[in-house]
């Protein structure tokens, strides 16, 4: 007999340690509706205050994973690998990483999400591509992963449904930032995809959800410990998000940026460092390379040979996109009607920027959602973003605004110009890979 929900809540409220059966019974009630909205909210708040041990969080993650269907890749010929990012501005790494890893011989069945707050969503970016189906039938998803090696799609209704209900209630009860609940939310969906290995990109800085190094490490450690405790080989890299990662922010613009990267045009950038670091980490986790140096060499070969671009093209076409998309992206990606430069307001060096506010500027242009039912304008965003440390002269463009009309472009231009600090001295460079958690 399942424990009463109120007894589970009371025990956690009082700082007690829940047994796996208690957690499993409560999550079953969340899924079938027998646990009320008020009880779910009380459980979330009790967890926010009292926290959870590693074993409790493993049990919560597994219960949420098992609340719906799980993908089974047994008998599959490739290692099953994936990556997850906690989100940032100009972070389009998944778009390039999945085909690179596929070209190296692993399989990447990537279940991605939409934009959240100031951060862009992988699914929103892919929907810039005409015809791209983010929710294909399960049998087609599996077939594409088998044939291409990767497929990036959205969460289905039957994948970790308990998380959907719990997250919606956390969102309106000020409990989103509970580390155990964040951990279980992220990992339940990833584990439901049947992964054998996972690498996590935990962002730190003024463009991330976490700005305190200590809190960021706590979350990264929780994610790694719980995923490994649930049987999935997992590591994490903490990466810098004190400036946009790519030189674009906005949906179609980031897809264009992805193609430029796969053509080899972004070598040596901060974006390139992150993509290669995660490619190497994923290949080691999947036991396809002995160490990260070997993994990076494999990833470079996949990129330089054109194999990664070919995988991306095949993935797009098999999921409903144009067959000639990578050859003629300009024929398929919509362009913004108004494109204007953001001029530097003085001579000097780009010393810092308010990265989160740059993400909010993209949303103000229509490139993200203020409300869940808002329609996204895939054309808009920021391009040509110069990296921090660049020497500029007054009037020189530090970015370009892509907008639906001239008036909107000018308003956002002035807003973006004010988000940068230009100093007399070149700022000290920061490593893009802050630390590794194992």
Report d(CA 224, CA 220) in Å as an integer: 6
DSSP state of 87: -
31, 47, 67, 85: the active-site residue: 85
78, 125, 189, 317: the active-site residue: 189
Closest CA to 345 of 412, 401, 402, 418: 418
61, 112, 119, 185: the active-site residue: 185
DSSP state of 346: S
Count CB neighbours of 128 within 10 A. Answer: 22
Structure tokens at 245: 């990662």
12, 24, 78, 84: the active-site residue: 84
Question: 115 near 368, Cβ under 8 Å?
Answer: yes
128 part of the active site: no
190, 270, 318, 379: the active-site residue: 190
Q: Helix (H, G, I), strand (E, B), or coil: what is residue 82?
A: strand
122 part of the active site: yes
Report d(CA 40, CA 46) in Å as an integer: 10
85 part of the active site: yes
311 part of the active site: no
12, 118, 164, 170: the active-site residue: 170
83 part of the active site: yes
Report d(CA 231, CA 368) in Å as an integer: 35
118 part of the active site: no
65, 78, 83, 266: the active-site residue: 83
Pairing between strand 338-343 and 397-403?
antiparallel
47, 61, 112, 122: the active-site residue: 122
Report d(CA 277, CA 295) in Å as an integer: 9
424 part of the active site: no
Closest CA to 295 of 277, 280, 285: 280
Q: CA 25, 30, 34, 36: dihedral to nearest 10 degrees?
A: 120
Sheet holding 197-204, edge to edge: 81-85, 197-204, 233-240, 433-437
Report d(CA 341, CA 421) in Å as an integer: 17
Structure tokens at 317: 């076409």
82, 124, 201, 307: the active-site residue: 82
Query: Hey, which residues are catalytic here?
Result: 82-85, 122, 170, 185, 189-190
């Amino acid at each position: 007999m399942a424990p009463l929900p109120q007894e589970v809540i009371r025990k956690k409220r009082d700082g007690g340690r829940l047994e796996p059966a208690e957690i499993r019974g409560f999550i079953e009630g969340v899924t079938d509706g027998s646990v009320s909205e008020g009880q779910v909210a009380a459980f979330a708040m009790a967890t926010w205050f009292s926290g959870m041990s590693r074993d409790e969080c493993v049990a919560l993650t597994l219960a949420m994973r098992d609340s719906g269907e799980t993908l089974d890749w047994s008998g599959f010929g490739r290692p099953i690998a994936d990556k997850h990012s906690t989100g940032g501005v100009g972070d389009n790494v998944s778009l390039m990483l999945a085909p690179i890893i596929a070209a190296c011989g692993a399989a990447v069945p990537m279940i991605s999400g939409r934009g959240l707050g100031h951060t862009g969503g992988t699914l929103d970016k892919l929907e810039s591509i005409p015809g791209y189906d983010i929710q294909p039938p399960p049998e087609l998803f599996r077939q594409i992963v088998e044939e291409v090696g990767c497929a990036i799609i959205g969460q289905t209704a039957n994948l970790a449904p308990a998380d959907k209900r719990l997250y919606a209630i956390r969102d309106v009860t000020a409990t989103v930032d509970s580390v155990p609940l964040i951990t279980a939310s992220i990992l339940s969906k990833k584990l439901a995809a049947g992964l054998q290995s996972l690498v996590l990109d935990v962002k730190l800085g003024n463009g991330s959800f976490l700005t305190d190094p200590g809190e960021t490490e706590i979350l990264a450690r929780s994610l790694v410990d719980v995923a490994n405790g649930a049987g999935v080989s997992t590591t994490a890299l903490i990466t810098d998000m004190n400036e946009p990662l790519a030189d674009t922010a906005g949906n179609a613009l980031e897809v264009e940026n992805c193609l430029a990267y796969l053509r080899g045009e972004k070598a040596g950038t901060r974006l390139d460092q992150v993509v290669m670091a995660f490619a190497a980490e994923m290949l080691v986790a999947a036991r396809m390379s002995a160490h990260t140096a070997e993994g990076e060499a494999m990833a470079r070969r996949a990129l330089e040979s054109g194999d990664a671009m070919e995988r991306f093209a095949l993935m797009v076409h098999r999921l409903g996109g144009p067959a000639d998309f990578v050859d003629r992206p300009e024929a398929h990606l919509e362009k913004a009607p108004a494109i204007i430069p953001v001029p530097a307001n003085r001579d000097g060096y780009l010393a810092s920027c308010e990265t989160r506010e740059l993400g909010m500027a993209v949303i103000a242009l229509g490139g993200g959602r203020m409300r869940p039912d808002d329609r996204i304008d895939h054309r808009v965003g920021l391009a040509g973003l110069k990296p921090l440390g660049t020497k500029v002269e007054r009037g020189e463009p530090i970015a370009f605004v892509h907008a639906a009309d001239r008036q909107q472009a000018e308003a956002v231009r002035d807003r973006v110009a004010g988000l940068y600090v230009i100093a007399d001295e070149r700022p000290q460079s920061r490593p893009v890979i802050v630390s590794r958690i194992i």
